[in-house]
Structure 1
């Protein structure tokens, strides 16, 4: 059996993963601590996949489309345009969900993931390797995270203002 393989610290890998999910998202009765917390976490994983796909599919297209441009211009376009494409898709989901907090909170999760990656790489890599990581981090992370976070929070703010006006009108 694949799940019965013991890990060095005791317990199966499956048991450790189950404990992680229970601690993070479930209470003692096995019910979700917060549905919004769990849903936004899962949505942030979807957003991560959307942004990764945007970069995967657009980098080569942008490289060939702007081959005659300077390296600086290509780098800027390759950093910004896929991030904005991912933001367009992710922020459009704001209108799909009945709980309008999900998309902005998913962006908070993405910011937490980015910060965790930055801290982890700072701790485990040598100085030169960390500089290389920072180059790619700066190319891939800020455009989508900042634009998506800002747009989703503005969408949520606008939604709340409309809801308050509608409530006052009643």
Structure 2
């Protein structure tokens, strides 16, 4: 006989999850003065869509010429080049945002958002392809070549850049400077 858990514990867990969700979504709400509570979350979320478009454009523009260039090459080499070249180019273009003035956390946060969104898309795709083993394998190959490679490069580069910036940043002297931001 399958019994349900303790309803009191379940309601406490539901309340904790609800509070965490409210806390997360409240970062996107406006304050009394019309400003967003967390500009970093909002800017990085919007920037992740720009990054998705840049990576998508790099893939769309380069896949044909690379396929033609690699004609006759072993399939593994063709797949490797077809995955790496657009990923490197897209990551290079997206990493130019590092040079913009302002909060340096935007670049790694945008790639984190992009990673979360692509993971959600992958899960949704696999659920939609439930039972279609061949289609699931093909989707995973596509995801690995054209989504995972750019994400790994982008996440890795953005974390490396932010780590180097953070390591060499002078220490904060007082709370007023801390509130002002980088």
Place the TM-score, normalised by the shorter chain, in its bin.
0.7 to 0.9
Q: Which residue of 2 aligns with 1:137?
A: 143
Matched, 1:25 2:31: no
SS at match of 1:25: coil
Q: Distance in 2 between matches of 1:133 and 1:108?
A: 22
Matched length:
146
Q: Which residue of 2 aligns with 1:51?
A: 55
Q: Distance in 2 between matches of 1:66 and 1:123?
A: 34
Matched, 1:78 2:87: no
Runs of 4+ in 1 over 6 A off after TM superposition: none
SS at match of 2:71: coil
Gap regions ≥5 residues in structure 1 = 1-21
After superposition, the Cα gap between the structure-2 partners of 1:36 and 1:166, relative to the gap in structure 1 and judged at 3 Å, is: closer
RMSD in angstroms over aligned alpha carbons?
2.1
Shift of 1:45: 0.4
Q: Distance in 2 between matches of 1:83 and 1:89?
A: 10
Q: Which residue of 1 aligns with 2:65?
A: 61
Between 39-48 and 137-146, report the one with greater CA deviation. 137-146
Q: TM-score, normalised on structure 2?
A: 0.73
Q: TM-score, normalised on structure 1?
A: 0.78
Q: Distance in 2 between matches of 1:79 and 1:46?
A: 20
Q: Distance in 1 between matches of 2:43 and 2:139?
A: 30
